[in-house]
A = this chain, B = another copy of it.
């Protein structure tokens, strides 16, 4: 009963959510999916995560309806509508991390693709006041961003330039 992902005694939505995304690596996989990572090998290369763990996590997230897997032997993984709902979680975590562990300011900036205004964690544009869908959000390197070094993987390199969220990397 006391399975490592579960919080069986908790009658609480935070616990229910953590049962899905609270395991080690899960939220980083979800984050990468928002950034447009789609392929097993790209998740693996970017996250430097053991392949067995990645496979298990992807399976589980697909099973919970957070991600969906394309067909074939070379499937792509994409966030479902349910998975898209995790953006405020990812974003608020990033903001907190930036504030307290980002000495040079935010690593990523998020702007509205249409008007260029800053998009807040729950998706409002500071310039035009509209709710901005995740897919209309452009992510750019911020002042705290560390450029990929020599020999960095292709995903890190691709994510080092402005890029729409959810846009597949390839």
Binding site for B on A (CB under 8 A): 4, 7, 9-18, 20, 22, 24, 27-28, 31, 47-48, 82, 85-86, 88-90, 92-102, 106-108, 120-122, 144-146, 156
Check A31/B14 contact, CB under 8 A, given A93-B89, A121-B122. Answer: yes
Q: Check B10–A121 contact: CB distance below 8 A.
A: no
Tallying the copies of this chain within the complex gives: 2
Which B residues touch A85, using CB under 8 A? 96, 99-100
Closest chain B CB from A22 CB (angstroms): 7
Which B residues touch A122, using CB under 8 A? 92, 120-122
Cα distance, A22 to B31, chains bound together (Å) = 14
Which B residues touch A22, using CB under 8 A? 22, 24, 27
Check A88/B97 contact, CB under 8 A, given A13-B106, A16-B102, A22-B27. Answer: no
Q: Check B82–A86 contact: CB distance below 8 A.
A: no
